[in-house]
Structure formats: structure tokens, C-alpha cells
Amino acid sequence: MSTDDQQTGHKGLASLWFGTALWKRILAAVLLGAIIGYFWGEGATQIKWMGDLFVRLIRMIVVPLVFVTLAAGVAAMGNLQRLGSIGVKALVLYMLTSVVAVVIGIGFGVLLQPGVGVELSGATPRAVETTASVGDLLMNIVPTNPIAALASGDMLAIIFFALIFGAGILVQGEGARPMADILNQASEALLGATRIVMEAAPFGVFALIAWVMGTSGPQAFASVFKLAIAVYVGCALHMLLVQGGVVRLFANLRALRFFRDVTEAQLVAYSTSSSAATLPVTMRVAEKNLGLRRPVFSSVLPLGATINMDGTALYVGLVAVFSAQIFGVPLDAGKYAIIMLTTVLVSIGTASVPSASLFLLAAVLTAIGITPEQTALVVGFILPFDRILDMMRTTTNVTGDLAVATTVGKWEDEIDLDVYRAPSAG
């Protein structure tokens, strides 16, 4: 083959690769990774570094992206009243969908009875975290040192400081306009950097899925088959009916187009199991695919990645019923109400990292009479294969963030409907 033929072939492959929509490349990576991991088994750990590198790349962007885009978004609102309007609407929707998620989780627990007949004798107890008090949570939102908060990635503190910083630009008016321009330019640059990093997504996703399938595999579900079915079906129904319903009924937009346009973020969320790690992708999807404008996506999405945990709420509610069935703890209407209340509160404080919700079960289970020792057994029983369950609930969390942002964007007239309704890119 001549040099010219080789160059033509390389150009053809490059055109095919970059001409294929990113979500399709990621989906192919998920499927291929699952197949390779299944047959390769434990050997798939040899390529996990590729997935870890991809996660580090997107985590590298998270903190500066959240701070810069949120501060720029607040500065672009024009007045503080808009900030309050967007924030309140987003919070109400986040709380509403989380409550419904808990109800779905409890309902599947009652319907499928996943804990009946489960034996924990072979489980290794795992220590569980206790949740901080409401006072401590509120106190920790305000950073004593914003630079330290940025360095440590304390997302709630970063969001608070960015809101204050952006509000300061609004208050100063024209005198602070140069800073607003700098933030806008920095935001555009970071979103461009996100686009570059996302070209590595198919390779990172492939490695992560292969590692999960190779180390856990389908056989890991044998002892918790009913629980796994409840998590996956419950999350799927919540996304389709509740989150899709929010977009269709509250925003009066076609839900099918919404799900088409958020596929890229869902696939990254599924592979990384981290709402925070997915945030740069979520923001890019919101702007480029859904047509949301900066005042909405830059404020609603970082908030959602921190406090909106629909998948977590559903899962914790389900596992609470699962645990009660294992230990024979009777549940009445009052205890179901306690599960709902404590689960919503706990899910707000859940770290957006893999399997974090498992270690926040103590508050919910203690409230219905399950001892810390029993809680440790439940965590030890679930933890070995929780990654596969976590992948689905993280996908639900991220989808919820985008559904709420889309709805608030429509309410606030901060959405380009031509972009939202545009035909698929590929």
C-alpha cells in the first residue's frame, strides 16, 4: 500500500470516528466493554487505569468549571431576584422528585420482597458513617477559606462562594463588568476543554465497564437478584415516568427528545458512578443539546449534582425495606413515613461519588429500629456488587438534574427551543 493510500485510509477512519455522534461512540464502548470484561474476567483490571485516567481528566475540570460558570451565570441574571426565582423553582422540583423516588423505592421493596429469605451469615460487617446534624451541614456550606474549599473540592462551599461572588458582581453593576466578561470568557474556555476531554470518553468508559464486568460480572447478582431487579426497574420507571413527566407536563416539551439529547451524559454517569465527575458533561449537554442558557444550567446543575439524588433516594428507601424484611422488623404507615423523611434528608447530604449512599444508611435504618451492627451486616452484604447498582442510580441522579434544569429553563425563558427541537446530530 502506498503512502498516499495509507494517509487516505487514516483520514477515512478519522472522519468516521469524529463524524459519529459522541453518544453513539460511548454506547458502543459500553457494549464492547461489557463483552470484553465478561470473557476476560479479572484480567480486565489491567486496563482499569484508562478509566481512572478519564475520570481524573473530567474531575480536573469540575471545580473550576462549577465556580466559573456559576459565578458567570449569576452575573448574567441582571438582578438578584432572578437568582432567587431560579433557585427556589429548582429546589422545589428537586425535593418533589426525590420524595416520589422514595415512594417508588419503598413500593418496589413491598412488591418484590427482595429481603425475604436472604441469609447474611457470610457477610463481613462494614463500618457505616453517621450523618452530620442539620446545623453542621448548614455551617459547612459557608467556607472559612474559599481557596481551601476550591483546593479540596468541597462542592457545597464552592457553590455558596460562587453565588456570593456572582451576586457581588451584580451589586457593583458596571464597575464589575470587566470581571463578568472575564468569567464569561473563562467559562467558554472551560466548556471547550470539556469538549476536548470528552473525546477520551469512549476509551475511558470501555475500560471502566470492562473492569466492572470482569470483577463483578452477572454472577454477582445471584444472591441479590430481586434487589438488583428492583433497583434497575425502579430507576428506569422513575426516569421515564417522573423525570420525563416533569419535562412533558411542567415544561410542555417532548420527553422523547429530552431523553435523546441527554444520552451522552447518562452513559458517562453510568460508567463513572459519580454525579460530580459527570458534571462537565452534563453542563455541555445542557447547553449544546438542550439549548439551555448559562443563567440556568450554570446554577441549577451544580446544585443538582450536590443535593439532587433521586436514584440515591429510591435506593436507600428500597434498601431500608430490604433490611427490615431480612431482620423481621415490622413496618407500619408511621415507619414508612419515617423512611421517606429521613431518606430525603440523607440523600441531600450524599457525596456524589461511587457507593457513598451505602454508608449513609445508618440514619434511616436506626430510625426504624435496626441496630448499627445489623446495618453493618447489610452494608457488608451489598458492598461487593454495589458498583453495578450504583451505576444505575447515578444515571437517575444525572437525568433528574437535566430534567429539572430543562423545566426551569422553560419557565424562565432561558432555553433555545430551536436547539432543543433540532434533529439528532447523528
Phi, psi of 415 (to 5 degrees): -140, 135
- The string of pLDDT tens digits covering residues 5-34 is 555 555 667 777 777 777 788 888 888 988
User: Is 184 in contact with 76 (CB distance < 8 Å)?
Assistant: yes
Helix (H) or strand (E) holding 97: helix 80-112
pTM, 2 dp: 0.79
What fold does the segment set 22-420 form as a domain?
Answer: Proton glutamate symport protein (1.10.3860)
Q: Rounded CA gap, 358 and 380, in Å?
A: 10
Given pLDDT bands bounded at 50, 70 and 90, which one contains residue 290? very high
Work out whether the CA dihedral 55, 56, 61, 62 comes out positive or negative. positive
Q: Rounded CA gap, 36 and 205, in Å?
A: 13
Burial of 14 per CB tally in 10 Å (0-12, 13-18, 19+): exposed
Helix, strand, or coil (residue 399)? helix
Q: What is the pLDDT of residue 266?
A: 94
Residues 6+ apart with CB under 8 A from 357: 309, 312, 315, 316, 346, 347, 350, 390, 393
- The string of pLDDT tens digits covering residues 173-207 is 888 888 988 988 888 888 888 888 888 888 988 88
Q: Rounded CA gap, 376 and 12, in Å?
A: 55
Does the pLDDT at position 359 exceed 70?
Answer: no
